[in-house]
Structure 1
Amino acid sequence: MKIRLVNDGVFTPIESINDTLIAPANGFYWIDADVDDLIVLQPLFGLHDLAVEDCLSEEEQRPKLEIYESQYFLVINSIRFDDEEIFLRALNIFLGHHYLITVTRQKINELRSVKPILWEQEVNHADRFLYHLIDIVVDNYFTVGDRIEARIESLEEDILMHTKKSHLTEIIGLRSEILWLKKALGPQRELIATLNKKDLRLIDNELQKYFGDIHENAVKVYETFETYRDLMGNLREAYQSSVANRANEIMRVFTALTTIFMPLTFITGIYGMNFDYIPGMHESFGSIVLLVCMAVIGFGMFYFFRKKDWL
């Protein structure tokens, strides 16, 4: 657990958690904790049992805002895209009048990214810290969206150039992740809309207007992933079309080869009959003449098919 006094964007480490119980003369306290630290934090700050239970739960939490007497409890999902897999990590936030507590199970990059912004903007209030943190979380969805779009374009190019069976597995897997992510974005969009419109005494009225801008971005993210879902459907159709075209191409080659060998098979069939007299059978150069004729017929038909662009 890390405890900092944030005053005009400047971070000052605090040794004792008891020092955070009283509001500082200037600034606010940021307590960056993990789930194990809730044993200490709950009695000191009066954290609600239901909120603590949500933090301790290993199940995926729905983004939400819970309003309690002295604090707000928020759950928002941070996004990561590692090794072609999408991860959502719950960021639990307790917002009080003079403190902000972040509780996480894994490391969340946004908590590191927000520090330079706090210093640059000379942040002095917990609600403004909350605004910048949520803004970064939503912006990262655009970054992940760009990587997903690049992956879709790369996959489409691979399918058009050389279709593989593994492409279908990738399409199904990526489409499932996009649908799952889109499902999680709906509640998150609603959460940000609540921060923008609802009367919240711990968030400054002027600051609430800025949450409207974040809400617009959240809507854009939701619509973007809706588009990605449609693109994955088109990609699957392109795969199926490519497979069908490839099968048709193979069948066309086999058909042409079969057609070429039909007259050759006919000739060899005749000369395999047990007749006493077959033209050229007893001639010294009969076999050579026959092979030359078969070669001429075969190559002639091959040239004809190539000229017609059938092969």
Structure 2
Amino acid sequence: MRVLRWDEGRVRAGGRELVEPGARLWIDAGPDPETLAFLGETFGFHPLALEDCAHEDQRPKYEPFPGSLFCVVHRVIPSADESEVLSHELHAFLTADALVTVHAVPIAEVDKVFARCAGEPALLERGPDFALYLVHDAVTDVHFALVDALTEEVEALADLTSEPDGGAMDEDVLPRIVAARRAHGHLRRRLAPQREVFAALARPGQPFVRDGTAVYFRDVVDHAVRLAEEVDTGRDLLASTMEAYLSRTNNRLSALTARLTLVATIFLPLNFVAGFFGMNLQIIPPRVAAPLVLVLVAATPLALWAIFRRKRWL
């Protein structure tokens, strides 16, 4: 647990010993049972909200309780090998004089805002609701880089699948499309509902969010909407890319099947010639039989090839 305490124009940083009434606080802690019990006893947070902090896999949400409000947002990051995206939950309690953030793993944006508030007393002087805005704004804006990178990947896949016939089709195109669809689905599940959380915080008349701070949350709502729209656009482009890939694959398969069929068609008369004269070669004079069979075997494929080329089947 780490604590920032704003008192009489200056900020003190420390631990649990600073958690006392009479000043504005920002408490950043992990979801261990001892810490959650301490927070519940000190601030009277609702047991259901504390239970959500203890058990992750919560959807983004905003829940007002008597004496506090509780919200959950997600920080989405790529995995170490960039094969998938992962999400870390950030739980926040807001009261009239305190902001309590709870998360199981370190979140870089929270660390940066915490350090900034420790060095700039004027930020905490504006209230714990403004500190919550700074955290949500930082966590939201950092997702633009991730979404932009996924958009570039989708555009690259779209360009690859739209190449003219004969262009190189990498063997990993389909896995890349599937991975991108999975990433976009995860982003939509985690980021789209956060618009509702920020919109609730941006509504005027909130008991713990001053109207002056609610204006700032409106900017966060705008960023969240832009992220959701870009994710939706990427999903639509991915669907079109998948259709184009499957269509191109089917066309190539059809063309290959047609060529194999034409090859079989060319050799079909040869099988007939070999079978017929193999059974009836004695009815033709020997001097004529062998040259006749050789001419038929040589001329028939050439004639069929010329006919297929003329009809543009080859």
Whether 2:80 is the aligned partner of 1:74: answer: no
Query: Is there any run of 5+ residues in structure 2 with no aligned partner, and where?
Result: 163-167
Which of 263, 279, 284 in structure 2 is aligned with 1:278? 284
Question: Is 2:50 aligned against 1:52?
Answer: yes
- Give 1:212 shift: 1.2
CA contact (8 A) 1:79 1:87 kept: yes
User: Does the 8 A contact of 1:178 with 1:229 survive in 2?
Assistant: yes
Residue type of the alignment partner of 2:30: D
1:162 Cα offset (Å): 2.2
Deviates more, 1:103-112 or 1:115-124: 115-124
CA deviation digits over 1:43-93, x for unaligned, max 9?
Answer: 223322222111112342342132432x33221122223223232322111
1:30 paired residue among 22, 26, 29: 26
Residue of structure 2 equivalent to 1:43: 41
What residue is the counterpart of 1:258 in the other structure? 264
Alignment check: 8 A CA contact 2:76 2:187 kept: no
The amino acid of 2:157's aligned partner reads L
- What CA deviation, in whole Å up to 9, does each residue of 1:118-143 have, x standing for no partner? 45895233222111111122223322
1:3 equivalenced with 2:3 (yes/no): yes
CA distance in 1, matches of 2:96, 2:40: 16
What is the correspondence of 1:226-241 to structure 2 with a 5 Å cutoff?
226-241=232-247
Q: CA deviation at 1:149?
A: 1.6
| SS in structure 2 at match of 1:30 | strand
8 Å CA contact 1:63–1:77 kept in 2: the answer is no
1:159-308 equivalences in 2 (<5 Å): 159=161, 161-162=168-169, 167=174, 171=177, 174-175=180-181, 177-278=183-284, 281-282=286-287, 286=290, 291=294, 294-295=297-298, 297-299=300-302, 301-302=304-305, 305=308
Which amino acid is 2:135 matched to? L
CA offsets, 1:196-237, max 9 Å, x none? 114124333222111111112222222222222322321232
| Cα distance between partner residues in 1 of 2:249 and 2:9 | 58
Instruction: Tell me how far 1:191 sits from its aligned partner.
Output: 1.5
Rounded Cα–Cα distance in structure 2 between residues aligned with 1:85 and 1:7? 44
Counterpart-to-counterpart distance in 1, 2:95 and 2:209: 10
Q: Return the offset for 1:269.
A: 2.8
* Equivalent residue for 2:143, pick from 117, 141, 149: 141
Q: Distance in 1 between matches of 2:11 and 2:3?
A: 9
Q: Corresponding residue for 2:88?
A: 89
SS of match in other structure, 2:142 = helix
Alpha-carbon contact 1:127-1:203 (below 8 Å) kept: yes
Q: What TM-score do you get using the length of structure 2 for normalisation?
A: 0.80
Tell me which residue corresponds to 2:165. none
Measure the CA separation in 2 of the matches of 1:214 and 1:237. 35
**Is the Cα–Cα contact under 8 Å of residues 27 and 99 in structure 2 kept in the other structure?**
yes
Question: 5+ unaligned residues in a row in structure 1: which ranges?
Answer: none
Q: Residues 163 and 242 of structure 1 are in contact (CA less than 8 Å); yes or no, is this contact kept in structure 2? A: no
Q: Contact between 1:80 and 1:88, CA under 8 Å: does it hold in 2?
A: yes
Residues 110 and 136, structure 1, Cα contact 8 Å, conserved in 2 = yes
Deviation at 1:108, TM superposition (A): 2.2
Check the 8 A contact 1:79/1:140 in 2, yes or no: no
AA aligned to 1:132 is L
- State yes or no: 1:114 paired with 2:116: no
Once structures 1 and 2 are overlaid, which stretch shifts more, 111-120 or 30-39?
A: 111-120
SS across alignment from 1:74: strand
2:14 alignment partner AA: I
Give the aligned CA root-mean-square deviation in angstroms. Answer: 3.4
Matched to 1:41, the amino acid is L
Please give the secondary structure, in 1, of the residue aligned with 2:280: coil
Letter in 2 for 1:204: R
Task: Choose from 125, 128, 132 the match for 1:126.
Answer: 128
Q: Percent identity over the alignment?
A: 29
1: CA distance, partners of 2:299 / 2:90: 77
Distance 1:59 1:13 in 2: 31
